Amino acid sequence: MKAPQTLFTCTNCGAQYQKWAGRCSECGKWGTVAEESTSPALAARPSTKPGKTASFVDLAAAGEIPRNKTGLAVWDEILSGGVVAGSVTLLGGEPGIGKSTLLAQLALSVASQGKTVLYVTGEESPSQVSLRLKRLSSTLPSTLLFLDETSADIVASTIAETKPALTIVDSIQSMRAPEVPGEPGNMSQVRASAGWIAETAKKSGASVILVGQVNKEGDLAGPRLLEHLVDTVIMMEGDRSHAFRLMRVTKHRFGTTDASALLSMNESGLSVVEDPSSALLADRPKQAPGTVVTCLLEGQRPILVELQALVTPAGYGTPLRRASGIDLNRLSLLLAVMGRRAGVGFGDQDVFANAVGGIEAKETAVDLAICLAAASAKLDKPLPDDLAVWGEIGLTGEIRPVARMDMRLKEAKRLGFTRFITPAECKHLKEAIALYSK
Ligand code: TYD
Ligand code: MG
């Protein structure tokens, strides 16, 4: 018989190695690769008794997936009709984006239907949570239960005992699995805690929402670590200094992953923005150089957004490139294409580009808008206010088609745009720039 092999795992990202290494070649961190221990906690779990067999499922008799409406419109809508009993959802987002706020609203909504909600807070003190809840609602339903706890096994047994309709764990990184080695928040701890809580939830039919803090690189506690453990992943993004937040479903075992919603953060928490395009264009300057409107596709939803650019003569050294809501590498590439293929160079210019409203405009369909905003800024010539543009730019300066141009066009027309530069009628960046630069 072959001896069992020792496995080394990076506690930061989960990469596995046959041999120990000082530096993880996946995530680049030093001193994070450790021998993977067979966790006594996992080994101690109840196993199926010998002789006991599983029974087969009659698929023909399997009914509809029962969904429970939470009463919080955005949550029900984005999850194709409500929370599925026994399901585990991960809500990810950077700190301060509004995850706890949204979940406090959700907890209040479900508890006010008379259902038991268990809110586990490992990150904030009960007084912080209570302050937030009082800000959101004048009364606290008696079915809203609190647990100030970081031990995953205590949380799991409380779920099994109390059988709440909904359990919220804020956050999974603050939970620890006592019998698993390592600091709370590290990979084995997060995996074990999430696994435990998810398993208990499945057994007791309780729905669980886990909050996942996202680090600067956008990873949820190590790549894909939690994603495959849960049924649904919802990501919240946006810029903390702006009111808008975008919520999108990136994985959903019980429905579509095309759903997205724009939310707005105000004094009474997060609310749904009914018409995202007009909200995002509300404060648009008129006849200003360096701005143009483009159309994003969030799931199956077209959203108009304004892109801005500022171009100024550079000082000494390498010219600056700064981007917010736009991919910086993409911006550099597009500026290079403009210089070489469209005759508008930025070699001695600092370029700042921005997607208005704190929105992430990172699909390649916004390429053309970035180029036209930069060209308009450099030439100091405003583009028409009723112009909307989209298209991907190739390395020769060609304008390439993007997905769902029909939907983007319809949305732009709905908002009153009458002029368009799109891959349907314009084939090269040079042509597009020439249209309005005379
Ligand atoms: P929070 O939900 O704690 O973010 P996360 O859990 O993702 O870290 O809070 C986000 C911000 O929202 C915080 O700075 C305070 C603000 N806020 C409001 O603007 N209005 C509100 O009604 C509440 C509850 C919070
Ligand atoms: Mg929080």
Cβ-Cβ contacts under 8 Å for 403 (sequence gap 6 or more): 297, 365
Of 245, 274, 303, the domain-final residue: 274
Give 100 Cα–ligand 2 centroid separation in angstroms: 4
Query: Are 74 and 215 part of one and the same domain?
Result: yes
Compute the distance between CA of residue 64 and CA of residue 199 in angstroms, rounded to an integer: 22
Both structure tokens of 269: 């928490």
Total tally of structural domains belonging to the chain: 3
Residue that is written with structure tokens 């530069």 in the block: 421
- Which ligand has an atom closest to residue 98 CA? 1
Domain that holds residue 248: 67-274
Query: Are 236 and 293 part of one and the same domain?
Result: no
Q: What angle do CA 99, 168, 229 make, to 5 degrees?
A: 90
Mutating to test ligand 1, I would choose from 90, 99, 100, 101 the residue with most ligand atoms within 8 A of its C-beta, which is 101
Element (H, E) at 93: strand 88-93
Q: Please indicate, yes or no, if residue 16 is contained in any of the structural domains.
A: yes
171 within ligand 1 shell (Cβ under 6 A): no
Mean pLDDT of 150-156: 92
Give 198 Cα–ligand 1 centroid separation in angstroms: 26
pLDDT value of residue 4: 54
Whole-number percent of the chain with pLDDT over 70: 93
Is residue 144's pLDDT more than 80? yes
Atom of ligand 1 nearest to the CA of 211: 6
Out of 19-23, 255-259, 431-435, least confident range: 255-259
Taking the CA atoms of residue 300, residue 403, residue 262 and residue 257 in that order, the dihedral angle to the nearest 10 degrees is 40
**CB 53 within 8 Å of CB 62:** no
Cβ-Cβ contacts under 8 Å for 53 (sequence gap 6 or more): none
Give 96 Cα–ligand 1 centroid separation in angstroms: 6
173 within ligand 1 shell (Cβ under 6 A): no
**CB 7 within 8 Å of CB 18:** yes
A 10 A CB-CB count for 268 gives 11
Per residue in 302-324, pLDDT (tens digit) is: 999 999 999 999 988 899 999 99
Beta-strand relationship, 88-93 and 207-213: parallel
Per residue in 174-198, pLDDT (tens digit) is: 898 888 877 777 777 888 899 889 8
Side chain identity, residue 122: G
Q: Output the residue whose Cα is nearest ligand 1's atom 13.
A: 96
Of 228, 256, 274, the domain-final residue: 274
CATH number at residue 90: 3.40.50.300
Is residue 57's pLDDT more than 80? no
pLDDT band at 217 (very low <50, low <70, confident <90, very high): low
CATH number at residue 386: 3.30.230.10
Three-state DSSP at 302 gives strand
Query: Are 303 and 354 part of one and the same domain?
Result: yes
Both structure tokens of 101: 């706020």
Query: Are 299 and 384 part of one and the same domain?
Result: yes
128 within ligand 1 shell (Cβ under 6 A): no
Query: Are 253 and 374 part of one and the same domain?
Result: no
